[in-house]
């Protein structure tokens, strides 16, 4: 059984190449039909196309022809030259192909290890392939098992834990200081991408009250509306700070937006209730000495990056545990695949040997015109017994080897040696 993966990803190709080779969701069906018409050796296929990868998973009757057909399709469909494709593309076969898919669905192959989006993207690609009847028993089993693997990795390891983005790290720190965030008021100073990411994480953690302040008031209104928050005037910052527990700031100001004197006044008016300042601006928005005030906690971009780096290292350690799970699952898949193929291989072997036996019996008996029916029957029984004894040990050993991780190799050797795929 020939399983292959031909693809490119963020590790092998720059974004301009990934853009050229991407296949939009609404064009998946068209792509599948082209492959069906022009590449009959590709029996099953699933096309996975995301911003970071474009991969085609396939079961083929012939690896060389299958790979050539896939490359020709990609070059023709995207009008890209073969040299450019070959520089960025990778080919994975059999165990490597299965292991790769398990790593992809488990997010071990993602730009950010442990990110959850890829599993949904793989499920979408598989669902589309099934909709267009592009999969069969093998890829159906492979992809269904990959989803089980992803679930095991997430539940049995800590690969998805610990913040690995600056914005998420900021929210995680806020949780460590305050515990439950649902009753906390958050003020966002600025309205850029980092601020938007931070407020998404905060809302996901249950923060109810979100205030947004920006020098351009309309932009503050726009962001506040998106998250059911409240826009506040930038020049009323002093008053607004008094009711805020968490302040996240990311502006382009050339000077401090919150100075120590202002923070000291605010914390006094809050009767020393804690305030958490997250400064993700460069240059910094929060004067570092604010951290010297009792019950004021200030974290800047470098503090957050240190947290992210430590968390990334922890995820890498968890990834090693995930690799062990994947290794066992790969073996399990090939055990299933071997069982799927053993019976047909034995049937094909018996058929080939019987055809050979019958041909030789007919040739011999044609030279003996006076042979009695009883003698002819004796010859038939004797030659059948010889064939059965000759193939008995290979069949028994093949069934035993089907239980091992190399079972498919023995199956391949049998089919090749006896020319069973003619």
* Mean pLDDT comparison of 122-126, 152-156, 417-421, highest-scoring range: 122-126
The residues annotated as belonging to the active site are: 51
Domains of the chain as residue ranges with CATH: 2-161 (3.30.460.30), 166-308 (3.40.50.720), 337-417 (no CATH)
Indicate the average pLDDT of the chain.
Answer: 87
Tell me how far apart the alpha carbons of residues 284 and 255 are, in angstroms, rounded to a whole number: 8
Q: How many CA atoms lie within 13 A of 30 on its CB side?
A: 7
Residue 246: per-residue pLDDT: 92
Band (422; pLDDT cuts 50, 70, 90): low
Phi, psi of 91 (to 5 degrees): -120, 125
Q: What is the pLDDT of residues 254-277, one digit of tens each?
A: 899 999 999 999 999 999 999 999
Q: H-helix or E-strand containing 278?
A: strand 275-279
- The pTM assigned to this predicted structure is 0.61
Tell me how far apart the alpha carbons of residues 302 and 52 are, in angstroms, rounded to a whole number: 27
Phi, psi of 158 (to 5 degrees): -100, 30
pLDDT at residue 137 is higher than 90: no
Q: What is the pLDDT of residues 27-84, one digit of tens each?
A: 999 999 999 888 989 999 999 998 889 999 999 989 999 999 999 999 999 999 999 9
CA angle 245, 248, 251 (to 5 degrees): 145
What average pLDDT does range 322-338 have in this prediction? 86
Residue 196: per-residue pLDDT: 82
Q: Which residues of 49-61 are buried (b: 16+ CB within 10 A; e: fewer)?
A: bbebbbbbbbbbe
What average pLDDT does range 144-163 have in this prediction? 83
* Mean pLDDT comparison of 168-177, 296-305, 382-391, highest-scoring range: 382-391
Tell me how far apart the alpha carbons of residues 361 and 355 are, in angstroms, rounded to a whole number: 10
Band (176; pLDDT cuts 50, 70, 90): confident
């Amino acid at each position: 059984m020939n399983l292959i993966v031909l693809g490119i990803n963020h590790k092998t190709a720059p974004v301009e190449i990934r853009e050229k080779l991407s296949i939009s969701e609404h064009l998946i069906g068209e792509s599948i039909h082209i492959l069906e018409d022009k590449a009959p050796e590709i029996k099953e296929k699933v096309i996975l196309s995301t911003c970071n990868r474009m991969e085609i998973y396939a079961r083929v009757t012939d690896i060389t022809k299958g790979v050539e057909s896939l490359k020709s399709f990609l070059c023709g469909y995207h009008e890209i030259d073969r040299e450019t494709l070959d520089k960025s593309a990778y080919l994975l076969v059999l165990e490597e192909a299965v292991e790769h898919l398990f790593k992809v669905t488990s997010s071990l192959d993602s730009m950010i290890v442990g990110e959850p989006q890829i599993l949904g993207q793989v499920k979408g690609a598989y669902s589309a392939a099934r909709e267009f009847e592009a999969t069969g028993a093998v890829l159906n089993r492979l992809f269904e098992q990959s989803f089980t693997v992803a679930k095991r990795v997430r539940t049995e390891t800590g690969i998805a834990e610990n913040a690995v983005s600056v914005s998420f790290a900021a929210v995680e720190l806020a949780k460590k200081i305050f515990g439950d965030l649902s009753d906390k008021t958050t003020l966002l100073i600025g309205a850029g991408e980092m601020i938007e990411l931070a407020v998404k994480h905060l809302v996901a953690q249950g923060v109810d009250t979100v205030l947004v302040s920006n020098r351009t008031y309309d932009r503050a209104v726009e962001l506040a509306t998106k998250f059911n928050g409240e826009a506040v005037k930038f020049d009323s910052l002093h008053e607004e700070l008094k009711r805020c527990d968490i302040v996240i700031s990311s502006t382009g100001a050339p000077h401090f937006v919150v100075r120590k004197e202002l923070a000291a006044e605010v914390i006094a008016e809050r009767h020393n209730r804690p305030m958490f300042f997250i400064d993700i601006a460069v240059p910094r928005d929060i004067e570092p000495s604010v951290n010297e005030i009792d019950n004021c906690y200030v974290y800047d971009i470098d503090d957050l990056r240190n947290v992210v780096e430590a968390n990334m290292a922890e995820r890498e350690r968890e990834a090693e545990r995930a690799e062990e799970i994947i290794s066992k699952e790969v073996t399990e898949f090939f055990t299933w695949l071997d069982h799927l193929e053993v019976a047909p291989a034995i049937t094909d072997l018996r058929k080939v040997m019987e055809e050979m036996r019958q041909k030789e019996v007919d040739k011999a008996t044609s030279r003996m015109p006076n042979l009695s029916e009883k003698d002819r029957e004796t010859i038939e029984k004797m030659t059948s017994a010889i064939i059965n004894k000759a193939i008995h040990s290979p069949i028994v050993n093949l069934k035993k080897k089907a239980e091992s991780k190399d079972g498919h190799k023995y199956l391949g050797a049998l089919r090749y040696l006896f020319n069973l795929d003619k």
